[in-house]
Amino acid sequence: MGSVNSEFFTVLFTDVVESAAYWEHEAQMMAEAVVEYDALIEEALAAHGDGTAVRPRGEGDGRFLVFHHASSAVAMALATARRLAVTRWPTIRPFAVRMALLTGTAARRQGDYYGPDVNRAARLRGVAHGGQVLLSRSTVQATEGSLPALTSVRDLGLHRLKDLSAAERIFQLVHPDLPHDFPRLDTLDMRRHNLPVAVSQLVGRVEELAEVTGLLAQARCLALVGPAGCGKTRLAFQAAADAIERYPDGVWQLDADPTVDAEAIARVAGLQTVEDLVKQKVLIVLDGCERAQRAAAELCDRLLQVGPHLTSVIG
């Protein structure tokens, strides 16, 4: 095993918005655009020598860059965004890149970086719009008084990201050469749900989370089985948060006990009767089912019959 070192860093994540659609409908033009995009990133990185490109993580067009100084990371993000804004791309539709910066700590192992702050930076990028550059509060604090000329930040307020931890104060990088008017950030605050704020980060469950998220896309009822205290609840909540875009009518969590019925779930979802679930595309997370297994099974059976677009996770 390689050695592990903890480092203070600023991470810069970039990716192409809705790149899957480009690859499906404009594959050749997208291939050309990505070559130009990669070259642009490499040129900007070379001009800001403090940064390092971390090896690809299978994200395709996503880039993961690490800097020892937050000011260098912001300068590179600005330079890159300005170039992107004036580049004429070969694609038919606008080629939009989003970026996010976060300053924190991470464990470094064999040239890669791991830890909650890396994950949170990726979450931050995930809520940005094409052409938008977002900064965490930690990065804004680390660059106070050292922003590039004509550059400022706009406070976008507190937002909950999909990691379910406490809200993050998010800022937007502002410069005369950059787009400045964007829709509201697509964070958990914009979605219908009652998922709780987690008391800690989900650490070391990457494979399990990916498996649960994948199964959710295939099955209408998914049971997480294991002894009490093994982390079923935390895993279920995180998988639900990750899948929230697929459920426009909401993601709702209830504690399972013998008294919980379908009508109670309908009320939590803001509906009058359980029959109102028929047209709803919702995800229900039943927690603590080991305490009421029979009741939970009967409840899920009724829900799945009433709501053809409803999905349940039981734990």
Output the 3-class SS for 17-58.
CCHHHHHHHCHHHHHHHHHHHHHHHHHHHHHCCCEEECCCCC
Tokens describing residue 232: 């079923």
- Helix, strand, coil in percent for the chain, rounding step 5: 40, 25, 40
pLDDT category at 40 given cuts 50, 70, 90 is: very high
User: What CATH number matches the domain at 206-314, 1.10.3470, 3.40.50, 2.40.360, 1.10.287?
Assistant: 3.40.50
pLDDT category at 60 given cuts 50, 70, 90 is: low
Are the C-beta atoms of 132 and 172 separated by less than 8 Å? yes
Residue 1: pLDDT over 50? no
Residue 57: pLDDT over 60? no
Give, for 99, the enclosing helix (H) or strand (E): strand 97-109
Mean pLDDT of 6-21: 90
CATH 3.30.70.1230 for domain 4-184: yes
Tokens describing residue 172: 């937007």
Do 206-314 and 4-184 fall under one CATH topology? no
For residue 252, the SS3 value is strand
Domain locations along the chain: 4-184, 206-314
pLDDT at 314: 65
Q: Which residue has the higher pLDDT, 58 or 8?
A: 8
User: What is the pLDDT of the chain when averaged over all its residues?
Assistant: 88
Give, for 53, the enclosing helix (H) or strand (E): strand 51-53
Residue 136: pLDDT over 90? yes
Pick from 304, 305, 184, 285: nearest CA to 244: 285
How is residue 139 annotated by DSSP? H
pLDDT category at 190 given cuts 50, 70, 90 is: confident
Tokens describing residue 304: 């799945």
